[in-house]
Structure 1
Amino acid sequence: MRSAESGRKYELSLKARVPQLAGKGITQEAPAERTLETVYYDTKDFRLTRAGIAVRRSSDTGWCLRLPGHELRFPLGDSKVPAPIATLVRAFTLDRKLRPVAQLRTDRFTHRLADASGRTLATLADDHVTGEFLGGQAVRLDRWRELDVEAGPELLDRLDRTLRKRGAENAWWPSKLRRLMGDTAEGKRGSNEVLPAYLREQFERLRRADLGFRVGEDDSVHQLRVSARKLRSVLQTFKSLVGKKKADAIVAELKWLGAELAPARDAEVSQARLRACLDEVPPELVFGPLRQYLTRDFSRAAQTELARVTEALSSSRYVTLLRSIAALLDTMRPAGKKALRKPLRKTARKLSRATEAAEGLSGAELDKALHNVRKKAKRARYAADAVRPVSGKKLRTWRKQVKAVQQTLGKHQDTVVDRAALRHFAIDGFSENQNTFTFGLLYGRDEAAAKMLRDRFAGQWRTLREGAGPAWLKAGIL
């Protein structure tokens, strides 16, 4: 995809003469002519177009899937949408049939602009477009003209001035398809009330992460997991406002999805953290093929767990979940500002009780209890995030302090997971007659780090209890 600095689009009257851009050392050649036939595909309710995604079949370039940040091409084939394309956009179509919604014929006249030596300086594509919209109640025809100019930034500005003098105007529509469709693909707008808006945002993030995973983007499993967790957490917190039966059913399925995603993400995090810890050990204290151990074990786990994620995202259960979330968002009713307070106060109270339950514990029991506190803190933070647009300064301060608690306990949980992995590596290494001293050293470091993090948490919790929170909420944590 080209940047705004290398190309610009304009509209021009069908009756106007082609602009002459020659002059000052620039010649404009006679046009090269060709005709392009393009068919666009979408669902009946234009789910792809509304998401900024385009599926098209062109007579010259074959099938193309245009995504935000990506453009993927496939062989021309027949008029049936290729299975790989349908799979990639599944989170948006929800398995609804892709059918032709628009047909374009473009008579393109391409002019090359060159300098005295014949070097290409710019190209001017003069497109005469005939469009047929097939997706409405009646077929709609339209004809228009577009100019597409590609050049370096400095020359582009110069050509821009000339084109405007010749009657060209900035193209208002982002694409030929959107011009032909007009407002048809807009669909109904959801409520802007804070809770539906937050859930819609996380649902959109989940679908974008799904798409990212399918095209091989880094960190996509993490983004999928975060969005699923936020949806689940906020639906749990505010289910009295959403509808308990509907919310509970979706939460259960989001829990299933999270369980399918978790091992792959946990393996990524643990491997990166253990490698970083190993890099901090002085070379003279590194014994045995430790990095080979990490690579071997985590590579094997990564392949298994990524296959598990792929299987989950390919299942009918997953599509049913997405449909349920979409249906819920279409029917949610707004809730008043005061109605949002009770669920948030209840969540704050659960966080306080979980912290009290951890007092006096030690060893594995303490680790488990602090992990529960972390989960309760995360839910409280997400609940505060959901109501942030209508919250005051005191709630935002409270949310910041809750996030600090969550992050500290998250690091503590990392040490718990890492110590379990290090113990496993040490046992395996010992059975293979390897020197496992360094694994023991890292284990001891993690134990010391865990103690430091527990002390930090204790101080942060005191700050949270004594900090400035709104009066209606502080009763939930005192």
Structure 2
Amino acid sequence: MRSAQSERKYELSLKARVPQLASKGITQEAPAERTLETVYYDTKDFRLTRAGIALRRSSDTGWSLRLPGQELRFPLDDDPKTPAPIATLLRAYTLDRKLRPVAQLRTDRFTHRLADASGRTLATLADDHVTGEFLGGQALHLDRWRELDVEFSPESGPELLDRLDRTLRKRGAEDAWWPSKLERLIGDAAEGKRGSNEVLPAYLSEQFERLRRADLGFRVGEDDSVHQLRVAARKLRSGLQTFKSLVGKKKAEAVAAELKWLGGELAPARDVEVSQARLEACLDEVPPELLFGPLRQYLTREYARNSQTELARAMDALSGNRYATLLRSIAALLDTIQPVGKKALRKPVRKTARKLYRATAATEGLSGAELEKALHNVRKKAKRARYAADAVRPVFGKKLRTWRKNVKAVQGTLGEHQDTVVDREALRHFAIDGFSENQNTFAFGLLYGRDEAAARGLRDRFAEEWRTVRKGERPAWLKA
């Protein structure tokens, strides 16, 4: 199995140009092209997919059975039926139900090798143009999309991973939303088998499980674990606040308050990570002739000191009795949640939407710091509305997914805007402290000005995206 440190997956527009990752010391070779034909198999009710298992027949690698934690391979033959040894292995999952083709994929893969000056392979960029056909429904469903898969050689250090990650994001790449091509193609088909009365308990339980997995990851030093911890805590808190009338108001509010405390303990450590990555990326864009003195060394020293302090604070929080009590409280609350019907889920989601609309209206006529604060509030309301839509996604249709997508775009833009606010404060701090240490802080002032200009552009983009939210497609019950 590949580790999270050696491979990253992204999505990119079909119309975008091939990302050029060549830079000083790195060459990008012309692509090697090949076409892969893959057929996925499952039962009619998607028992394998719901168990986290993927069975596929590929023109390139033969039969592949991907289980949680391992992958088994079997030779290719001329018979498209599932080989008996595989069917036997899966009997406990299929209960002798017939395995049949549920999806067919054609992947046009363009593979670029990235090498150093000596010709040594540093990484491989696979640019996949995928055409998928969903065979499991009554109507034919076709889809086309594009994925990027960057795999790093064992000799490549983490700094190369982060460097290429920043470059890809500048070219428009985003984190892959779906864990696999199959799950992207079938969408909610497997998910939709869950009854509406199970949706809320399942969603909250999933966030709790993610919190516990991230907790373990943080303790063993996994990359990005602070971020994953914070996201899981935020989603769980948001879900409890949004649906508190359905899970028990007093208990939900009490647990949500403690999750807010946990988020506050984790936030500084994560903020240091984000700020450092962003400012270093901004410095990469400054012409060398405008960088005076050892600014990078200064930033590295300052961030290293802050990071150690905030990571120690986070570990203290996770090691204390308050956190242990919080975990027990979450588990106890989840055990008491009663199933609710589809109709009952609408009101809380509608309420989050109304709060978002009111928060946006409150930004009219504001400027300066007041506007920045109000837009940050809109961002938080958009995030909660998006999480609410995520929670009920399995039982509502395409219109809600479209509204959620539009809200997510608003949230993303305002997140970038808030980054400029935070970074300007950090730049001001570094300029003052650096000046006192006889640093030439001209570049910090230059970046401050760039951030101000970027913020104006982001506000204009937000205005356009908000018009899409207001006028775009959404369920009739969400308009009430």
TM-score by length of structure 2 reads 0.60
Counterparts of 1:295-314 in structure 2 under 5 Å? 295-314=300-319
Query: How much does 1:211 deviate?
Result: 0.6
Counterpart pick for 1:349 among 349, 354, 363? 354
Q: Give the secondary structure class of the aligned counterpart of 1:241.
A: helix
* Correspondence 1:219 to 2:224: yes
Could you give the per-residue CA deviations for residues 36-67 of structure 1, whole angstroms, max 9, x where no partner exists?
xxxxxxxxxxxxxxxxxxxxxxxxxxxxxxxx
Q: Give the secondary structure class of the aligned counterpart of 1:193.
A: helix
Counterpart pick for 2:424 among 395, 406, 419? 419
Q: Give the secondary structure class of the aligned counterpart of 1:381.
A: helix
* Correspondence 1:376 to 2:381: yes
Counterparts of 1:37-436 in structure 2 under 5 Å? 193-436=198-441
Residues in 2 aligned to 1:414 and 1:228: alpha-carbon distance in whole angstroms: 21
Q: 1:191 to 1:333 in 2, by over 3 A?
A: farther
Residues in 1 aligned to 2:2 and 2:309: alpha-carbon distance in whole angstroms: 38
Name the residue aligned to 2:55.
Answer: none
Letter in 2 for 1:470: P
Gaps (5+ residues) in structure 2? 4-67, 76-83, 93-194
Query: How much does 1:253 deviate?
Result: 0.3
Q: Give the secondary structure class of the aligned counterpart of 1:342.
A: helix
Query: How much does 1:428 deviate?
Result: 1.1
Q: 8 Å contact 1:242–1:332 — kept in the other structure? A: yes
Identity of aligned residues (%): 82
Residues in 2 aligned to 1:191 and 1:354: alpha-carbon distance in whole angstroms: 30
Letter in 2 for 1:392: G
Residues in 1 aligned to 2:415 and 2:2: alpha-carbon distance in whole angstroms: 41
Paired residues in the alignment total: 305
Query: How much does 1:265 deviate?
Result: 0.3
Residues in 1 aligned to 2:452 and 2:388: alpha-carbon distance in whole angstroms: 32
Q: 8 Å contact 1:293–1:425 — kept in the other structure? A: no
Query: How much does 1:344 deviate?
Result: 0.8
Q: 1:313 to 1:402 in 2, by over 3 A?
A: same
Letter in 1 for 2:321: S
Q: Which moved more, 1:292-301 or 1:380-389?
A: 292-301
Query: How much does 1:294 deviate?
Result: 1.1
Query: How much does 1:286 deviate?
Result: 0.9
Name the residue aligned to 1:450.
Answer: 455
Gaps (5+ residues) in structure 1? 4-67, 71-151, 156-163, 174-189
Q: 8 Å contact 2:196–2:395 — kept in the other structure? A: no
Residues in 2 aligned to 1:432 and 1:207: alpha-carbon distance in whole angstroms: 43
Q: 8 Å contact 2:352–2:385 — kept in the other structure? A: yes
RMSD: 2.7
Q: Give the secondary structure class of the aligned counterpart of 1:320.
A: helix
Query: How much does 1:368 deviate?
Result: 0.6
Query: How much does 1:467 deviate?
Result: 0.7
Q: Give the secondary structure class of the aligned counterpart of 1:217.
A: coil
Could you give the per-residue CA deviations for residues 155-202 of structure 1, whole angstroms, max 9, x where no partner exists?
9xxxxxxxx99xxx96999xxxxxxxxxxxxxxxx9971001000110
Query: How much does 1:331 deviate?
Result: 1.3
Q: 1:441 to 1:192 in 2, by over 3 A?
A: same
Q: 1:2 to 1:302 in 2, by over 3 A?
A: closer
Query: Which has the larger Rg?
Result: 1
Q: Give the secondary structure class of the aligned counterpart of 1:433.
A: coil
Q: 1:469 to 1:218 in 2, by over 3 A?
A: same
Q: 8 Å contact 1:191–1:197 — kept in the other structure? A: no
Residues in 2 aligned to 1:170 and 1:346: alpha-carbon distance in whole angstroms: 48
Moved segments of 4+, more than 6 Å: 152-155, 169-173
Q: 1:232 to 1:389 in 2, by over 3 A?
A: same
Q: Give the secondary structure class of the aligned counterpart of 1:358.
A: coil
Residues in 2 aligned to 1:302 and 1:265: alpha-carbon distance in whole angstroms: 9
Query: How much does 1:432 deviate?
Result: 2.0
Query: How much does 1:288 deviate?
Result: 2.1
Q: 8 Å contact 2:413–2:462 — kept in the other structure? A: yes
Residues in 2 aligned to 1:260 and 1:321: alpha-carbon distance in whole angstroms: 14
Q: Give the secondary structure class of the aligned counterpart of 1:413.
A: helix
Residues in 2 aligned to 1:172 and 1:320: alpha-carbon distance in whole angstroms: 41
Q: 8 Å contact 1:411–1:453 — kept in the other structure? A: yes
Q: 1:348 to 1:2 in 2, by over 3 A?
A: closer
